[in-house]
Amino acid sequence: MVKIGIIGAGKIGKLHTENICYNVPKAEVAAIADPFMTDEIISWANGLGITQCYKDYKKILEDPEIEAVMICSSTNTHAPISIEAIKASKHVFCEKPVDLELEKILEVISAMEGKNLKYQVGFNRRFDHNFKSIRTAVESGKIGDPHILKITSRDPAAPPIEYVKVSGGLFLDMTIHDFDMARYLVNSDVTEIFVQADVLINEEIGKAGDVDTALISMKMENGTLAVIDNSRRAVYGYDQRAEVFGSKGMIATSNDLPSTAVFSGEDGVTGEKPLYFFLERYMNSFKEEINEFVNSIINDTPVPVSVHDGLKSVMIGLAAKKSYKEGRPVKISEIISNEVI
């Protein structure tokens, strides 16, 4: 039984906590910490059988019985807490991104050197049943050599402006999942990226220095040409689709729906909208990623999403920002030298 400490009791911290308590039989939550710990959070935790509730996460790091931590706190704390946890000999699961600055992610990588510890980054979409099916088809050679990758990723509603201001922007907050997906689906790194983007949904997003709509084209190391389209607002729900076209065929996924029921009548044919919120759409993938993390600790096997994967997605995100600002294709090598990683 792996004893885990949760750092951060916000939406994602609570989600992971409940998933471990109900769906990860080989682990238990031994403690939870949040600087804004309240009676309400304590009551919720106690209801799950968690009695150790702290404001100071260092108490989790000091507990010798806790083997692993899940870092679900604000983005700016991910890298420093990661380094502290590694020094305390804890396995780490860190929500994405590890940091918005490459230098800080490299510091985490440096801290991991020589340590027999696991470090997994929370790119949960790799564990989604639809996207895993695409990856399996590509890996098995079923579609032949991949030629074209298309990813559609559109949120049902734009986030609050206050969140936009601290999120790192569309490319490092939202599209970062799609950058990881692109690498995962065709098992190849990105070499070059070109972005066209604009503010088409909410002018306040533009005033905050960000964009809300983007078309992104990328060249992959294995020759695949990739396209991502993003929008912060799809009025019909959470739109998450992908397609890989290759020399032997094509594989594509549709949106998950509440049901596949379709009504046909004299006014037309109608079906269900896509699931509305990411917690609904990806709930099973959140469960699966934690099971995989725990299994890697128990069996001493590599984690499925490493800190290097986290680094590469941020590299692509920074290249995307550079491409948008400069209006030109940007090679990923312009962001950081391959020798460094």
Q: 58-77: per-residue pLDDT in tens?
A: 999 999 999 999 999 999 99
Q: Tens digit of pLDDT for each residue in 244-277? A: 999 999 999 999 888 889 999 999 999 988 888 7
pLDDT at 285: 95
Report the pLDDT averaged over residues 295-305: 98
Closest CA to 53 of 11, 15, 17: 17
Say how far apart CA 23 and CA 16 lie, in whole Å: 10
Q: Where are the alpha helices (DSSP H) in the chain?
A: 11-23, 39-47, 58-61, 75-87, 102-112, 129-139, 161-166, 170-173, 175-185, 203-207, 278-281, 283-299, 307-326
pLDDT tier, 195 (very low <50, low <70, confident <90, very high otherwise)? very high
At 41, list the tokens.
């959070």
At 333, list the tokens.
């090598």
Residue 2 is inside which H or E element, if any? strand 2-7
Which pTM was predicted? Answer: 0.94
| Cα-based torsion angle of the residue sequence 231, 235, 236, 241 in order, rounded to the nearest 10 degrees | 0
At 313, list the tokens.
């997605």
pLDDT at 278: 77
Domains in the chain with CATH codes: 2-117 (3.40.50.720), 128-281+312-334 (3.30.360.10)
CB 118 within 8 A of CB 92: yes
Say how far apart CA 84 and CA 42 lie, in whole Å: 25
217: helix, coil or strand? Answer: strand
Strand order across the beta sheet in which 249-253 lies? 249-253, 239-246, 146-154, 225-231, 213-220, 190-198, 330-331
pLDDT at 341: 55
pLDDT at 337: 63
Say how far apart CA 101 and CA 224 lie, in whole Å: 28
pLDDT tier, 114 (very low <50, low <70, confident <90, very high otherwise)? very high
At 229, list the tokens.
């389209």
304: helix, coil or strand? Answer: coil
